[in-house]
Amino acid sequence: MNIHDRYTEDPLFRRIVDLMTGMIESGQFTPTEIREAAMVAQINFEARHPRPTFFSLKDIQSGRV
């Protein structure tokens, strides 16, 4: 699903987009600041929820990892 369809079909996605748009339009944040905030949120989430890393025994033995 592309982002325009998601905006149309997903009420929660539309809500956050509309919230961010309102913040930009009211002068609270610039579009760049919104992008930066989204990146920080993603970085924070991934730091708090690390994914396990799996390596094959063959890769470990060959020294590729």
* pLDDT tens profile 13-45: 999 999 999 999 999 999 999 999 999 999 999
pLDDT of residue 15: 98
AA letter at 23: M
How sure is the predictor about 56, in pLDDT bands with cuts at 50, 70 and 90? Answer: confident
Give this prediction's pTM: 0.70
10: left (phi over 0), alpha (psi -120 to 50) or beta: beta
C-alpha dist (Å) from residue 19 to 29, 45, 54:
11, 20, 38
| Rounded Cα–Cα distance for residues 16 and 10 (Å) | 10
